[in-house]
Amino acid sequence: MVLLGVNVDHVATVRQARRTFEPDPIMAATLAILGGADGITVHLREDRRHIQDRDLKLLREIVPNELNLEMAATEEMINIALSIKPDMVTIVPEKREEITTEGGLNVLAIKDSLKDVIKRIKDGGIPVSLFINPSRADIECSKEVGADMVEIHTGYYADSKGLQQLKELERIKDAIAYSVSLGLKTNAGHGLNYYNVKPIASIKGLRALYIGHSIVSRAVLVGIKEAVRQMKELIKEACLNV
């Protein structure tokens, strides 16, 4: 069964729009877990545009399953990760001007620095995942620099339609199969929603899906517990039909 990690960043986005105390991503995480989430993901950005340090500390105290910290490979974030001790770290690219993460890490360009960052985090007892594009070269490099797992970027698939979407789906399938063959635990995420998740969830070898915006968007209408339950049901159906 493919696991579901729920990203609660956008609950914090609504809160930070008014710099107030609600809605609280901690409460959202609790309800997401009650709805069936296998873990909670947060991206602590350098500019703190949504998740705050306080949120990460409290989530570490209350999340009973997987807490996944997405972060840039900076000295500040490495120190925070080593202090908080999430269950895993996912290193992601980060630009101040972007609305959301625009693509996978350019692992080939930062290979040498990544080796050091990954070693430091793993020496602290924390498994490391790299958010990468569906590319065999990037997968090979991720293995070389010591990553425990990868998260395949599904944004190009999610943003396309028709024949182009089918082409992107095949790229993702090939990437997941290749990653698994190299012994990497393999996840996927970005842009997945209630209408496009099934073809991804049914891919053999996939460990987990990380989904946030679409679940939070539906939660505005039906509540987060129900929104998570509905997404889990879709993933379950996809896995059973493989």
Is there a catalytic annotation at residue 190? yes
From CA 178, how far away is CA 135, in angstroms rounded? 9
For residues 161-177, average pLDDT: 98
Per-residue pLDDT for 95 more than 80?
A: no
Domain 3-240 listed as CATH 3.20.20.70: yes
Identified catalytic residue from 70, 94, 151, 168: 70
> Against a cut of 0.75, is the pTM above it?
yes
Check 10, 50, 153, 190 and give the catalytic one: 190
Strand ranges in the chain using DSSP code E only, listed in sequence order = 3-7, 39-43, 66-71, 88-91, 128-132, 149-153, 185-189, 208-211
Q: Is 70 one of the annotated active-site residues of the chain? A: yes
- Mean predicted lDDT score pLDDT of the chain: 95
Q: Provide the 3-class DSSP secondary structure of residue 16.
A: helix
96 band by pLDDT with thresholds 50, 70 and 90:
low
Q: Which of 43, 94, 151, 153 is catalytic?
A: 43
- Residue 235 is predicted with a pLDDT of 97
pLDDT-above-70 percentage for the chain: 97
Catalytic-residue membership of 43: yes
Domains of the chain, by residue range, sit at: 3-240
What does the pLDDT read at residue 27? 97
Taking the C-alpha atoms of residue 39 and residue 53, their distance in angstroms, rounded to an integer, is: 19
Residue 103: pLDDT band (50, 70, 90) is confident
pLDDT reported for residue 229? 97
Q: Is a pLDDT exceeding 80 seen at residue 100?
A: no
